[in-house]
Structure 1
Amino acid sequence: MLLELDNVTVAYGRIEALHGISLHVDEGEIVALIGANGAGKTTTMRAISGIRALAGGSIRFNGEDISRLRADLRVGRGLCQSPEGRQIFPGMTVLENLDMGAYTRRDAAGIAADLERVFGLFPRLAERRKQAGGTLSGGEQQMLAVGRALMSRPKLLLLDEPSMGLAPLVIKQIFDIVTEINQQGTTVLLVEQNAQQALSRAHRGYVLETGRIVKEGTGQELLHDPAVKEAYLGVA
């Protein structure tokens, strides 16, 4: 088991956003976490990456309790997030943004190899390596955000809403690349409102509602679950 959340609670002041959730991600999987706006998906990701402190419960990663570990040290352990809204550095070039993804590393040869891997996955970024990140299209900025996360060489890649605001053709392209990243050996935890794409690519999934996990199963089981289809796929 690569990642395990056990009874995790997160609060904003007196308001509890996560009410004791438990989930796990095994090595080599794509695991999807779906739910409506405000369900607690992004809070879950922030708790895993160390941006939000836990009010209760524990998080274990690769056999180590990281519940109180600083966010930057989690990156060094192999846990990296591509955040909601991309959050690239708009005034920096594509290459500079990618270099920032490798800031914890000192292995020059490995960094160079991973840069070529990112350019292989995202040829558009190779073409625009000297272009400022803020001048890229929305889809290209999403590619850059994922590529930057990959530059840390993560054991677990956290993807938060990678399809947000993108055209359908670009969304399919992004998810094709997520599948390829996984096939190359990177485990993925995917938070996504596009339940159709997420569950069709995922080995397993969880449904989060108002800070609680209400369903779990394989991607195909959830994709064909009548309640999930009605609530998240627009099928009555």
Structure 2
Amino acid sequence: MLLEIENMSLHYGRIQALHGISVEVGEGEIVALIGANGAGKSTTMRAISGLRPVSQGTIKFNGKDITKERADRRVIRGISQSPEGRGVFPGMTVLENLEMGCYTRKDKAGIRSDLDRVFGLFPRLAERRKQIGGTMSGGEQQMVAIGRALMARPRLLLLDEPSMGLAPILIQQIFSIITEINQQGTTILLVEQNAQQALSRAHRAYVLETGRIVKSGTGAELLVDPSVQEAYLGVA
């Protein structure tokens, strides 16, 4: 397994946000984490990224225990995140935002190649490379955020709510690109409230409720699971 989370708990002060969750992501997979607001999805992502310390449990990446490793070391190891809310630097151009994603790298030829890859995935960014990030639409900013994460050349790409606030046509486009990124060889852990899209694209998925994993299976299995349909897919 590329990523192994075992019995992970996490607290915000006295409040326990995660209760002993275990999640695995295999090389080459898209794994989805679905659940309602406040279920602990983004908290899980922050723990994997190293932005929040865990209270107990272990996080292993590529067989190495990274539970106590700093966030920047995890980026160098190959974990990169497109955060919830996009986090685009509003005063920087598109190109400058993308370049921030490769600050740990020195391989100029590789960086140029990855920039070409990002512009191939998101032609709109190539057209607007000199535009200031803060003046772009929500969908364009999401493209910048994903592109910036890809510039670190991750083995594991963490996508936190990539469809949030986007129009339906853009949601479809973003998810098509996510599938393409995976087909190009990048493993993806996806946190998403749009359960229909997430489960349709995911090889496997976990359902998180109030900080606990309550169900797991293939994306196809969970799509037809009656309790998942009722809670997350609007099927009565």
TM-score range, shorter chain: over 0.9
Matched AA of 2:234: G
Matched AA of 1:68: K
**Does 2:126 correspond to 1:126?**
yes
Q: CA deviation at 1:11?
A: 0.2
**Structure-1-length-normalised TM-score:** 1.00
Q: Distance in 1 between matches of 2:104 and 2:135?
A: 27
What SS does structure 2 have at the residue aligned with 1:38?
coil
> For residue 207 of structure 2, what is the aligned residue in structure 1?
207
Q: CA deviation at 1:21?
A: 0.1
Q: Distance in 1 between matches of 2:12 and 2:98?
A: 32
Residues 162-209 of structure 1: CA deviation (Å, up to 9, x unaligned): 000000000000000000000000000000000000000000000000
Q: Distance in 1 between matches of 2:142 and 2:64?
A: 31
**Does 2:179 correspond to 1:174?**
no
Q: Percent identity?
A: 78
Q: Distance in 1 between matches of 2:15 and 2:89?
A: 32
Q: Distance in 2 between matches of 1:160 and 1:199?
A: 15
**Structure-2-length-normalised TM-score:** 1.00
Give the alignment of 1:94-105 within 5 angstroms.
94-105=94-105
> For residue 219 of structure 1, what is the aligned residue in structure 2?
219
Q: CA deviation at 1:68?
A: 0.2
> For residue 194 of structure 2, what is the aligned residue in structure 1?
194
> For residue 163 of structure 1, what is the aligned residue in structure 2?
163
**Does 2:104 correspond to 1:76?**
no
- Which blocks of at least 5 consecutive residues in structure 2 are unaligned? none
Q: CA deviation at 1:60?
A: 0.0
**Does 2:119 correspond to 1:111?**
no
> For residue 86 of structure 1, what is the aligned residue in structure 2?
86
Matched AA of 2:83: P
> For residue 62 of structure 1, what is the aligned residue in structure 2?
62
Q: Distance in 1 between matches of 2:62 and 2:98?
A: 25
Matched AA of 1:62: N
Q: CA deviation at 1:53?
A: 0.0
Corresponding residue pairs, total: 236
Q: Distance in 1 between matches of 2:99 and 2:188?
A: 21
> For residue 32 of structure 1, what is the aligned residue in structure 2?
32
- Which blocks of at least 5 consecutive residues in structure 1 are unaligned? none
> For residue 14 of structure 2, what is the aligned residue in structure 1?
14
Residues 96-115 of structure 1: CA deviation (Å, up to 9, x unaligned): 00000000000000000000
Matched AA of 1:221: E
Matched AA of 1:196: Q
What SS does structure 1 have at the residue aligned with 2:31?
strand
Q: CA deviation at 1:145?
A: 0.2
**Does 2:180 correspond to 1:184?**
no
Q: Distance in 1 between matches of 2:206 and 2:130?
A: 40
Q: CA deviation at 1:69?
A: 0.2
Matched AA of 1:164: M
